[in-house]
Amino acid sequence: MGLQENIRQIVAGKCGDPFSVLGMHLKKDKYGAGVEVRAFLPEAEEAWVADEETGSQYPMERLRKQGFFLLRLKRGKVFPYQLKIKSSDGKISERKDPYAFGRILTDFDLHLMAEGSHYNMYEKLGAHAAEFNGTSGVHFAVWAPNAASVSVVGDFNRWDNRRHPMRSLGSSGIWEIFIPGIVKGEAYKFYIKSRYNNYEAEKSDPYGFYFEYRPKTASIVCDINSYGWGDDAWMKKRPETNWFESPVAIYEAHLGSWMRVPDEGNRFLTYRELADTLIGHAKQMGYTHIELLPVSEHPLDASWGYQTIGYFAPTSRFGAPEDFMYFVDACHQNNIGVILDWSPAHFPKDGHGLGFFDGTALYEHQDPRKGEHMDWGTLIFNYGRNEVRNFLISNALFWLEKYHIDGLRVDAVASMLYLDYSRKEGQWVPNIYGGRENLEAIDFIKKLNELTHQYFPGILTIAEESTAWPGVTKPVYLGGLGFDMKWNMGWMHDMLSYISKEPVHRKYHHNKLTFGLLYAFTENFMLVLSHDEVVHGKRSMLEKMPGDIWQKFANLRLFYGYMYGHPGKKLLFMGGEIGQWDEWKFDQSIDWHLTQHSRHNRLQKYVHDLNRLYSSEPALYEVDFDYQGFDWIDVCDTENSVISFIRYARERGDYIVVVCNFTPVPRFAYRVGVPEKCYFREILNSDSRQYWGSNLGNAGGVQADDTPCHGKPCSMNIILPPLSVLYFKPGR
């Protein structure tokens, strides 16, 4: 291709090999060696090449009215230079030429990415402030293998896609350029022209660290390595913590609606404001962790964050990346872990996002039977592609490394595991063996769990998985998926069905109350009352409860008390701790004013006391995932809708007796079998006056006698309040 055709392509913004055209080049012809400097400067009226060695300045010839300039010199070698430009307003400026710089990414980088094993790709792709040959600027790189040309556009070049076309790194599909003089805070996108169907689009950076405030969609050049962390004590302790035998009480929160500022246009709280308010609340309430609905950048508030665009960027709704680091740092300094909801199952179709990225189905499957979630209107990642797996795994490691995140709750795992998830016959493609299992996704999940635990011991991975898939929390080397814990969706659905029934009918549904213990130790379960249960007409936790106001609060206290006594780690969504009447709305604050009323205030105190008791009693958390930590006392009192059981610590002598009455009928002289004859302290009574109960109970405790009952050698006669849960501990 001749020079004139190259110039035409540069001016038209269609050049796929700009470094062969622009910049300084040695030329040899019959007259001898020489140097040519070519530059496309559409804003320039005049241009010069300034020799940095000699200080000489050489005027350039304008070859095209659009701004293509050329300088020919009879010199035998290249030399360092700058471009001097006089713009139409008469201003003169000097700048380094981006096309004077060589490659930054190495062949080894490209090899690892193609192999799917470059686990810190976020250090290579995207936008990174760098110094190259003594010059400061930003290195841009993006994966777009089916692009004919890719340019960086932004405020710095007036969003002109002709100005900074990138270098293609061959079959790797990577494009890169170093642009000198750019600083932090510059907005940018990648302008992609595909080889197919004349497709052109401006795309946000898949590896961008920061985004413009919605509805704007550009990425922003950002340095995320300058924050000074103060959580050394937490990070040193974390790998030594056995979370399976530790209390895990999680407060699930949506940052956009936990609390707002109505006096200032109902604005969001910032990350730093949340560090004072949300962390203070969670700490005062006795939670061990805060789990955040996705904070990765997303365009649509109504998606709650689950339709992610900026996988590597905390949303700018609440501040800058260092502000989110401050939030996590403050959590750790207050001994609270941070778990992020992470959504590798699907992504939205927004034009500036990952979908159809380079004019082809790059991150997603081309076949909609494999590549589209019909229910959600989103696209499914192609887990069989090395570069896509690399993108997702490096993203998981990124949050753990750069933001000190303590765990990832992986969303919609069931939709990843099954090819026929929410599809009818003919709407899905079987795997190579004719089955419905998504083999590529399974392999990805296993690799994810292996690597996150290898590089960051002490973190948690938690599956939202709603089927009976075996071995979700079994280690990969034993044939499992490798998650630490799994949300117990079955227990949640059964209990919400049971507890929402009028007490008079509960005896006919006793199996829903007890069925969960048949499989409670087949996985490492987490008991969850999450955001999904208080939206879309499902009503708030309090409104699900039957009866009058007093009974609603009593039922809810009973439900929470049973949950904390039941084997499994705990999670409660925000608002549930104060008895929110309205179901959750993503665009408004929790109704904190309710705590002015005693019944709500005392429910909050009850949840506080539950968390404190839970964290202080090893019997309630040490043996959550083994049958030896649980023993039924009486599972068969269906007529009275009463159950009783024992929770054991590792030391069998340390145990707690739990008795639940799921009817509003107080029961006097109710006999419960116990392992020994001693005094049993009543350490929790959900019917206490301090929790807005009727204050019926056992005056602090009961003396057991040697009357055998329920297969136990001893027993105690107790007063069982209406709609209540009691915890007893032997006080030897």
37: DSSP letter? E
For tokens 């080049």, the residue is 25
Can you tell me whether residue 323 is helix, strand or coil? Answer: helix
CA quadruple 465, 469, 475, 479: dihedral sign? negative
For tokens 């009480």, the residue is 249
Q: Degrees (nearest 5) of the Cα angle 300, 420, 488?
A: 70
Q: Is 464 a catalytic residue?
A: yes
Residue pair 656/683 in contact (Cβ under 8 Å)? The answer is yes
Residues 352 and 309: their CA atoms lie apart, in Å, by 8
714: DSSP letter? E
* Pairing between β-strand 57-59 and β-strand 44-51 as defined by DSSP bridges: antiparallel
Q: Is 411 a catalytic residue?
A: yes
Active-site pick, 464, 577, 617, 634: 464
Buried b (16+ CB within 10 A) or exposed e, 306-343: bbbbbbbbbbbbbbbbbbbbbbbbbbbbeebbbbbbbb
Residue pair 613/727 in contact (Cβ under 8 Å)? The answer is yes
Residue pair 257/304 in contact (Cβ under 8 Å)? The answer is no
Contacts of 30 (CB under 8 A, 6+ apart): none
Residues 341 and 320: their CA atoms lie apart, in Å, by 19
Residues 307 and 294: their CA atoms lie apart, in Å, by 9
Whether the upstream peptide bond of residue 730 has omega within 30° of 0, thus cis, is: no
- Burial-class residue 732 by CB neighbours within 10 Å (0-12, 13-18, 19+): exposed
Active-site pick, 97, 323, 364, 411: 411
Q: Which value, in Å, is the radius of gyration of the alpha carbons in the chain?
A: 31
Can you tell me whether residue 283 is helix, strand or coil? Answer: helix
Residues with catalytic function: 411, 464
